[in-house]
Chains A and B, each alone.
Chain A
Amino acid sequence: MQLTPLNDLHVELGANLVDFAGWEMPILYDSIINEHRFTRQHATLFDVSHMGRLFLSGPDAEALLERLNTRPIADMKIGQCRYSHVCREDGGILDDVIVSRLHERWLVVCNASNRDKIVGWIRKHSEGRQVTLDDQTLTTAMIAIQGPDTLALAKDYLTMIDLAGIKRYHCLEGSYLGINYICARTGYTGEDGYELILPAAAGRMLAGSILNAKGALEGRIKPAGLGSRDTLRLEAGMPLYGHELSESVDSLTAGQAWAVDLNKDFIGAPVLRQLQEHGMARQLVGLHIEGKRIARQDTPVEKDGGKIGVVTSGTLSPTLDMVIAMAYVDKQFAAIDTPLQVNLRGQPIAAQVVRLPFYKRSK
């Protein structure tokens, strides 16, 4: 299994480690619910070093990325980050990524589970183009700090970076004491925060100094694992590859039309334009579910005994204290407030279509 530069720190902190896409990752340290709440109320640190960090440069890098991404690339300014999908010709989603424009190069952050696939896809479409791909996933660390206290606390330990000066979905590339960093005001929790890419050893050192801090910072930022990262993103209505997103679904059906620009040319665009014109057969919806039993991935969604959909993710929302899920349902059952059922091991449990996201932070 692949280890992140923070692996020994996870062990020291008593993490419950699991195999995630070939990486040994912390699912939790103490409790998923406690880590979830601490992120909503204070600030937590996530090791996201398993995510792919692909740097593209060369005269044709911009044109290549424009061709591969569902959102425009050429109009991006240096220091801008943009969420986008990468599709096959038939519209199936290969991955969801964040593209950042840096000085004379680009950064594509992709899912750990899709890294090999995306590297292959980029290489395949680089043929005949002047593009250099530099995969720095194994030589760097990536740390996410998320939560309402993030910016206030960063003033004490991240003095070299003016976090407040980085706008949402923007990033800053710099060097401090010879250590190159990229700091992006992005995240996957529904809270304010940042994601920092550093050389592996520097990332380990920073994470250790934050989580083992004495003095003013002590206990103010706690470690959080992939378990709470999942419940946080689900409350925030963000899709997860392998759940809401896959090669067998398209970006429009997945409710991600905002991440697709049908006016530009990209791989998959003709199919998506047709789909837009003729309408989708099913749609991603949010569900509130009665009771305390969690409807997990693949749970059937029913209307009066007939199967009309399937759950993609579900959990007991720690913030709302109710069972929530995302599901694909046939179009005619996708309207807000539609009463439906989820079939939990033979028992129909009442559910209702609700607006996404389930949770939105107050500004």
Chain B
Amino acid sequence: MSIPQDRKYLPSHEWHLVEGSIVTIGITKVAADQLSDITYVELPKVGTMLQAGSAFGEIESVKATSELFSGVSGKVVTINTELNNHPEWVNQQPFSQGWMIKVEATSPAELEKLWNAAQYAQVYPT
């Protein structure tokens, strides 16, 4: 499966979809497959201020617990509360239904430092 071309990626596997000043963040299929059997996603409260490069939450699978990172600074405006009851959506639809948070970016220029799809796919081929 090819990865979406319309997003920016962190080497730690988070994707960032930019729509105006709102950035939606989730994790890639490579990361979801690697974790397998996701059992719990801990997300920040709406209103939390994020710094680019800092952790915003945690994801747990039967195998391991990992931190989730944001590639942009800004305020969390929406979280995917459905993941509370359906953490498996991150395994099943990591690029759509399994999205995690929406951030109102304060410095959209930060996104230019992230990888594009081709750069990500080169390091993590599928």
User: Which secondary structure dominates where chain A touches chain B?
Assistant: mixed
B interface majority secondary structure? mixed
Residues of B within 8 A of A16 (CB): 34, 36
Q: Mark A291-312, 1 if CB is under 8 A from B, else 0.
A: 0111010000000000000000
Interface size on A, residues (CB 8 A): 14
User: Shortest CB–CB separation between residue A293 and chain B, in angstroms?
Assistant: 6
Q: A227-B37, A292-B40, A293-B60 are in contact. List 10 more A-B contacts (CB 8 A).
A: A16-B34, A28-B36, A28-B37, A31-B91, A32-B62, A292-B39, A294-B40, A294-B65, A296-B65, A316-B39
CB neighbours (8 Å) of B42 from chain A are: 293
With both chains docked as a complex, state the minimum distance between the C-beta of B62 and any C-beta of chain A, in angstroms: 5
**Docked CA distance A294–B37 (Å):** 13
Closest to B62 in A: A32
Smallest CB gap from A230: residue in B: B62
Q: What 3 A-B pairs come out closest when comparing CB atoms? A: A292-B40, A32-B62, A316-B39
Alpha-carbon distance A296/B62, docked complex (angstroms)? 10
Residues of A within 8 A of B91 (CB): 31
State whether the Cβ of A315 lies closer than 8 Å to any Cβ in chain B. Answer: yes
User: Is A110 in contact with chain B by the CB < 8 A criterion?
Assistant: no
Q: Whole-angstrom distance from the CB of A316 to the nearest CB of chain B?
A: 5
Contacts of B39 in A (CB 8 A): 292, 294, 316
Chain B contacts for A227, CB-based, 8 A: 36-37, 62-63
Q: Are A294 and B36 in contact (CB under 8 A)?
A: no
Query: Within residues 1 to 54 of chain B, which ones have a CB less than 8 A from any CB in chain A?
Result: 34, 36-37, 39-40, 42
Could you list 18 examples of A-B contacts with CB < 8 Å? A16-B34, A28-B37, A32-B36, A32-B62, A32-B63, A33-B37, A227-B36, A227-B37, A292-B39, A292-B40, A292-B60, A293-B42, A293-B60, A294-B39, A294-B40, A294-B62, A316-B39, A316-B40
